[in-house]
Amino acid sequence: TLSGEGEFTLFAPTDEAFDALPENLVNALLTDPEGVLTQVLLHHVVGSVAFAGDLSDEQVIETLAEQNITVTIEGEDVFINGAQVILADIEASNGVVHVIDAVLIPDATTIFDVVEASEDHNTLEAALLAASLDGTLSGPGAFTLFAPTDAAFDNLPDGLLDDLLADPDGALTDILLYHVVDGIALSGDLEDEQVITTLSGETVTVSIDAGDVFINGAQVTLADIVTINGVVHVIDAVLVPEVEELPTIFEIVQDSDIHNTLEAALVAAELDGTLSGEGEFTLFAPTDEAFDALPENLVNALLTDPEGVLTQVLGLCRRPFRRTGDRDPRRAKHHRDH
């Protein structure tokens, strides 16, 4: 096109301008030359000849990408969308070239645009909007998104997605950030047993089996959807970070330096097994000082009849007691520790 007939103006970014883009973005764009790369390049070309002397301050020009660029002139300096013209009016047989010091980025497909346009990612789109991460994945930067399908979300345990959506700034954000990597990782760059840190701070592990790529066991079913701010890989399962196994209620009592009397009472009443086993309980745990404040010898008297009044005193609330918002296991751990 730029060797043939016609009248064009090319705003030509230098190598340094391309080097200033996020790492691996150029390589990613080159893997999809007929997609976003073409849009980026067309955004640097105007379908007519415009010498520097023809440009005016605040002039708006439409590029071959069918998007506008804006000229600003400050003294003798000319800028195109903020990129400075460092060498002007290189005349050619079919137009003119102006060298600029930055790449002009069009309003092209972003990672969030890919999710939004997909018929298989409605749940992911809703989750990103609820967690206010749509702006992040629409903005500047370079990211890799492992994008679970609607079917992947449907395979989560009943009620889990609703619980996550009820805590958009907490557990939901943590789960979504566990699917995003800072930087561009094309499928060809991934290696078997590679460990990658996600934006949640947790790591995922890549495994490759006979050409198939898996992320924590979730298979990449569609790879290398290149965007202007990164790459999307579609996966068939939701990535759930490993959560440290929490102690049982009785183990918490055992480990406490201020619940020795309560521990002895629970053991005497044979409730240690109950509070060590499966179930969901809330324990209001009196301290040793609380027991010491009882009338003299009352504790000793109760201990002589562990299956009687003592068991009644130690009666349990047989369901978890949660304050609104305390659904995240890490938050529950925080409240437990304090």
Average pLDDT over residues 3-8: 92
Q: Tell me how far apart the alpha carbons of residues 79 and 55 are, in angstroms, rounded to a whole number.
A: 10
* Per-residue confidence (pLDDT) for residue 182, from 0 to 100: 95
Provide the 8-state DSSP code for 168: I
Average pLDDT, the chain: 89
Confidence band for 321, pLDDT divided at 50, 70 and 90: low
Q: Is 80 exceeded by the pLDDT of residue 168? A: yes
* Per-residue confidence (pLDDT) for residue 320, from 0 to 100: 54
Query: At 165, phi and psi to the nearest 5?
Result: -65, -25
Task: Return the percentage of the chain with pLDDT > 70, whole number.
Answer: 92
Q: Is 70 exceeded by the pLDDT of residue 7? A: yes
Provide the 8-state DSSP code for 317: B
* Per-residue confidence (pLDDT) for residue 141, from 0 to 100: 84
pLDDT tens profile 100-147: 999 999 988 899 999 999 999 999 999 999 999 999 999 988 999 999
* Per-residue confidence (pLDDT) for residue 331, from 0 to 100: 39
Q: Tell me how far apart the alpha carbons of residues 278 and 321 are, in angstroms, rounded to a whole number.
A: 16
* Per-residue confidence (pLDDT) for residue 231, from 0 to 100: 96
* Per-residue confidence (pLDDT) for residue 137, from 0 to 100: 96
Task: Return the percentage of the chain with pLDDT > 90, whole number.
Answer: 71
**The residue to which tokens 């102690």 are assigned:** 247
* Per-residue confidence (pLDDT) for residue 179, from 0 to 100: 97
Average pLDDT over residues 263-280: 88
8 A C-beta contact, residue 142 and residue 202? no
CA-CA-CA-CA dihedral for 216, 332, 289, 299, to nearest 10: -80
* Per-residue confidence (pLDDT) for residue 315, from 0 to 100: 73
15 vs 322: which has the higher pLDDT? 15
Q: Is 60 exceeded by the pLDDT of residue 335? A: no
Average pLDDT over residues 196-225: 95
Q: What share of the chain is helix, strand, coil (3-state, %, to 5)?
A: 30, 25, 45
Please give the structure tokens belonging to residue 81.
């969308």
Average pLDDT over residues 84-101: 97
* Per-residue confidence (pLDDT) for residue 326, from 0 to 100: 43
186 vs 321: which has the higher pLDDT? 186
Q: Is 60 exceeded by the pLDDT of residue 309? A: yes
Q: Tell me how far apart the alpha carbons of residues 149 and 108 are, in angstroms, rounded to a whole number.
A: 23
Strand partners of residue 97: 10, 90
Q: Is 80 exceeded by the pLDDT of residue 324? A: no
Confidence band for 29, pLDDT divided at 50, 70 and 90: very high
What is the rounded radius of gyration, in angstroms, for the C-alpha atoms of the chain? 31
Confidence band for 332, pLDDT divided at 50, 70 and 90: very low
8 A C-beta contact, residue 233 and residue 146? yes
pLDDT tens profile 211-259: 899 999 999 999 999 999 999 999 999 998 876 667 899 999 999 999 9
